[in-house]
Amino acid sequence: MTVAKIAMQAEEFRLIREYVAESMGLVLEEGTHKGLAAKLSPRLQELRLKSFAEYYSYLKFSPGRSAEWQRLVPLITNNETYFFREAAQLSVLVQQVLPALKESKLARGERSLRILSAGCSTGEEVYTLAMLLLESGGFTWDWDVRIAGIDVDERVLDAARQGSYGERAFWATEPHLVERYLKRQGDRYVVRDILRKWTSFTQGNLLDLADTAAGEQYDVILCRNVLIYFADQTVQRVVDNFGALQRSGAYLFLGHSESLSRTQASYRPLRFPGAIIYQKRETA
Ligand SMILES: C[S@@+](CC[C@H](N)C(=O)[O-])C[C@H]1O[C@@H](n2cnc3c(N)ncnc32)[C@H](O)[C@@H]1O
């Protein structure tokens, strides 16, 4: 059965765009309303709604609004990710950050490490971090290590928890690591238990991390390829949220096309060949 496409008027797009930006930070690009209308038309018909103005009200005010939000999110987010993305940054993590953290923790008599992948998508970044930590050999059984993935999109989190990937996810991964940490099942690769023991995945919104991550202090937060789609003032808000979850001296990794140049009050940039990372400043 073909579904008739319902047109989205400029004002309707403006309302939905504003609502999405307010709710999760993402700024829908101008000119994407036709594509969005095509993706959402079947849903409007299911709901027997005649226009996107009605859909906007449904999204905002109906008793089913949070379930509807979860249906909308996968249609508007970019979930592109793969194992060992942005290798230069990962080298800095392994060669500079992890040894420095280990030294300072041991000096304080601590043996715990907390890492957050903020906007983790289908989990490749989280499992990459687990592999890197295991390969580093620096964090053995007597360390309490947790690598948490947070994403706004329930659907990608289900995939992350399953931990089953196609070959394409490993184009930047050395084959011996795939062999060591994943087992082949048909044409899929499934993460081994050793990668699961430190890792967890939780639904959460970077605009409001108080419920999801309250009480945690993360030694490293990676928020890569997420803020690129956000407005400047929302980036500031998300970075403030991260600041509330980190002590002075903790590290923040952003995607290579994202920069904190306008929001450096709480983090200072550390420059390495091919990679910039950020370190939380001492609070006054
Ligand atoms: C392009 S993926 C990046 C995945 C991974 N960090 C990487 O660099 O490969 C961006 C992810 O951010 C998530 N995201 C976008 N806005 C979010 C928000 N407000 N809160 C939590 N996750 C969000 C999306 O659902 C998507 O899965």
Instruction: Identify how many contiguous H helices and E strands the chain contains and give both numbers.
Output: 12, 10
Distance, CA 258 to ligand 1 centroid (Å)?
13
pLDDT at 284 over 60: no
CATH classification at residue 143 = 3.40.50.150
Residue 164 in domain: yes
pLDDT digits (tens, 9 = 90+) for 85-139: 999 999 999 999 999 999 999 999 999 999 999 999 999 999 999 999 999 999 9
Q: What's the DSSP call for residue 208?
A: B
Domain containing 163 equals 87-280
Residue where a domain terminates, one of 47, 76, 105: 76
Buried-exposed string 101-116: b where 16+ CB fall within 10 A, e elsewhere: bbeebeeeeeeebbbb
pLDDT on residue 280: 96
Q: What is the pLDDT of residues 163-202, one digit of tens each?
A: 999 999 999 999 999 999 999 999 999 999 999 999 999 9
168 CA distance to ligand 1 middle (Å): 19
Same domain membership, residue 177 and residue 205: yes
Question: Does the beta carbon of 80 lie inside 6 Å of ligand 1?
Answer: yes
Please say whether the beta carbons of 226 and 78 come within 8 A. no
Assess whether 93 and 188 both reside in one domain: yes
Residue 219 lies inside a defined structural domain of this protein? yes
79 lines ligand 1 (CB under 6 A): yes
CB of residue 149 inside a 6 A radius of ligand 1: no
Q: Report the distance separating Cα 226 and Cα 118, nearest Å.
A: 8
* pLDDT digit string, tens, across residues 56-70: 999 999 999 999 999
Same domain, 94 and 66: no
Q: 207: closest CA among 240, 232, 248?
A: 240
Residue 81 falls inside a structural domain = no
Please identify, among 76, 102, 125, the residue that sits at the C-terminal boundary of a domain: 76
Residue with the nearest Cα to atom 13 of ligand 1? Answer: 119
Asked if residue 263 has its Cβ within 6 Å of ligand 1, the reply is no
Q: Does residue 4 lie within any of the structural domains?
A: no
Number of domains in the chain: 2
Q: What is the CATH number of the domain that holds 62?
A: 1.10.155.10
C-alpha distance from residue 18 to each of 13, 32, 137, 284 (Å): 8, 14, 47, 36
Identity at 140, one-letter amino acid code: T
Question: Residues near 207 by Cβ (< 8 Å), separated by ≥ 6?
Answer: 23, 24, 25, 234, 237, 238, 241
